[in-house]
Amino acid sequence: MDILLKNVFLFFFIYFFCFLGAFTKDLLDVFLNKTSDILIVKILLSAFFISIIIYGFSEWTLIRLPHRAFTALCYTSGLVSFELLAKYNSTEEFAELIKKHEKLRDFCRRLK
């Protein structure tokens, strides 16, 4: 039970700071007049998805990083995840991103 409680607390810690990062990015977009209102569903989803990814690597990451750096990683990941979810919100745009990655990978292989 103690291990379950620690893992739940860790996930909510990660989610909280990812949420703060995504919320900050959305507030910045509102203040810069890029969007007209706060997109709370997009904030919640982007923070949730990046929290799952960070939680999956948390055991490995917490061994190598101090707690303050881990908190900064969570916050920064929240900022980035919101931008990625806002930019690549359709399948066509995500497929285009994969094609660009393949072109870059092929280019790097040719350089070797």
What is residue 30's predicted lDDT score, i.e. its pLDDT?
Answer: 87
Contact present, 52 and 15 (Cβ < 8 Å)? no
* Cβ count near 90 (within 10 Å): 9
Q: Where are the domains of the chain?
A: 2-111
SS3 for 36-61, per residue? CCCCHHHHHHHHHHHHHHHHHCHHHH
The average pLDDT across 25-29 equals 87
pLDDT digits over 46-89, tens only? 899 899 999 999 888 888 889 899 999 999 998 888 777 666 55
Q: Is the separation of the CB atoms in 76 and 46 below 8 Å? A: no
Pull the structure tokens for residue 65.
């990083």
Total length of the chain: 112
The pLDDT value recorded for residue 84 is 75
pLDDT > 80? residue 11:
yes
| In the predicted structure, residue 90 carries a pLDDT above the cut 90 | no
